[in-house]
Amino acid sequence: MKNSAADKQLLYLQVYEHILSRIQRGEWQAHDKLPSIRVLAAELKLHRLTVFRAYQLLKENGKAYVKEKSGYYVNSPTTENEREILNSHPRTDNRYKNDISEIQRIPAIYQFSQALIDPNLLPNLFLSDYVKKVFDIYPKIMGTYSTVQGDGELREVLSGYMMQRLKVQLSADELLITSGAQQAIDLLARLYIRPLDTILVERPTYSAALDIFRAQGARFLSVDITPEGYDLNQVEQIMKDHRPRFFYMNPTFHNPTGYTVPASQRKHLVELAERYQCLLIEDDAFHDMYFDEMPTQSLFTYDTDGWVVYLSSFSKYVAPGLRVCAIVGRNIVIEPLITLKSLVDNGSPLVNQKLFLHYFGSERMQQHLHKLRTALQIRRDIMEQELLHTGWKWTTPSGGLNLWVELPQSISVDTLWKLCIQEQVSFVPGRMFDPSGDMNSSIRLCYSFVNEEQIGEGIRRLVKIAAHIRG
């Protein structure tokens, strides 16, 4: 932490919070004498005045009382809530939660809740044969750690690939390899968010990202994403008024909606980012999952001053079993991320990176991608066909893995979800993607994980249950 004068001013507040948490954990109980100012100052290696101010605050707030010539004593808990905390096991901690992950762990045959690709659509036999070759090329691969930043050869190849995709100059030093996009988002959250910081997100947005940001203590500002993109005036107003730490966005085949922010808005967004010094985190996990035409140029392309970080995950459609993602950014972003990565896992496993590298560079990969797009498009079409007569609303996605469907007000999504789970049909309620927990009449249906027949049967069950609720 920065050891600034301002931080020193805050110390007594931290001490105050610290004493309270020790009381909550039961170290000092009601009517126990607290350590003397001298003793606590020595323990915390702080100035006595700092501890004195913390004790004064405890007294003011009714957490402690003074007995003359004796010292400070812990007050009885004053609220139900405080009593509850005192009775809980000292080791539990509910800071962390991941709601969508819990929904996805519920087994279902008609699995529309996981935005994953059906393993049957991946070239498994080819991959198996392929692997042996990689182990022949690198006989010591199993015995070797990767560098923290990621395998040099892989970063070299990916930076070349990204230069083509992004149409900018890039060096291998401007990439960091992570274990999936999830880790990339978590690293960025840890680096940029301090408690109470505001960040800007789309509404709706990727649910697990919200949980990651929440765990770091972020407060959310949001801008609606529509088939036409964002309201740029609103984005500017938010950046101007609130100076969010970053804007986490998924502008291409957006999860959960499938919308794409139009090319005409992208340059302007980068200008806003520069003007208001708001980092853009461009999560581009679905870039290669297009149906008719290739996606429009990414925001990173327009960035000349290091205000865009680009996340390119290959987990979903190359090899989910490998979990390879690249963070692309300028040095000012990548350097501190490398240090953080060295702390969190000291670098992603080398085996995965080498397997990925060779498969990714193969001709087979492009063939696979082509087939995969066709298969996904067929599944999307089947799902839409089954929903056609319902009158429900959605925008046909031109890429990605999901339909974002708005149901009539008369259908309670929570009731629908509970009944569907009983019938082996799963989906994710819309509110989980909304930073403010609304969007109660939308649902996300993923068409990429189960086969054509299952999509048909699953959606028919869903529609039948919905009709039952309505009637």
Cα 318 to Cα 269: distance, rounded to the nearest angstrom: 30
* Spatial separation of the C-alpha atoms in residues 369 and 341, rounded to whole Å: 30
Identify which range of 81-89, 161-169, 400-408, 463-471 contacts a copy of itself by CB under 8 A.
81-89
Residue 307: φ, ψ to 5°: -100, 0
Site string for a copy of itself, 109-128 (x = CB under 8 A): -------xx-xxxx-xx-xx
Pairing verdict, β 71-74 and 64-67: antiparallel
Contact (CB, 8 A) for 461 and 427: no
Residues 416 to 445: which contact a copy of itself by CB under 8 A? Answer: none
Q: Would you say 208 or 425 has its CB closer to a copy of itself?
A: 208
Least separation in angstroms between residue 136's CB and a copy of itself is 7
Alpha-carbon distance of 193 to 417, in angstroms, equals: 33
Residue 72, classed as helix, strand or coil, is: strand
Kindly give the pairing relationship between strand 425-426 and strand 428-429. unpaired
Examine residue 211 and tell whether it contacts a copy of itself (CB under 8 A).
Answer: yes
CB of 245 to a copy of itself, least distance (A): 9
Q: Does 5 bind a copy of itself (CB under 8 A)?
A: yes
> Which residue type does 470 have?
R
Q: Measured between alpha carbons, how far is 352 from 75 in angstroms, rounded to an integer?
A: 56
Residues numbered 389-408 forming contacts with a copy of itself, rule: CB under 8 A: none
Rule CB under 8 A: is residue 320 a binding residue for a copy of itself?
A: yes
Minimum distance, C-beta of residue 124 to a copy of itself, in the bound complex (Å): 5
Contacts of 34 (CB under 8 A, 6+ apart): 19, 28, 40, 55, 64, 71, 72, 73, 74
HSE value, Cβ hemisphere, 13 Å, CA-based, for 431: 10
Nearer to a copy of itself, 192 or 392 (CB): 192
Please choose, out of 135-143, 157-165, 384-392, 462-470, the segment that lies near a copy of itself by the rule CB under 8 A: 135-143
Q: What's the first-to-final CA gap in the chain, in angstroms?
A: 60
Q: Does 183 bind a copy of itself (CB under 8 A)?
A: yes
Which one, 14 or 395, has the nearer CB to a copy of itself?
14
Number of residues engaging a copy of itself in binding (CB under 8 A): 113
Considering the rule CB under 8 A, would residue 343 count as an interface residue with a copy of itself? yes
Residues 347-376 that bind a copy of itself (CB under 8 A): 348-352, 355
Enter the DSSP assignment of 362: S
Task: State the Cα–Cα distance between residues 430 and 437, nearest whole angstrom.
Answer: 8
Range 216-275, binding a copy of itself (CB under 8 A)? 217, 219, 241-243
Part of the chain binding a copy of itself (CB under 8 A), chosen from 12-20, 169-177, 379-387, 415-423: 12-20
Q: Is 313 in the site for a copy of itself (CB under 8 A)?
A: no
x/- mask, a copy of itself, residues 25-44, rule CB under 8 A, reads xxx---------------xx
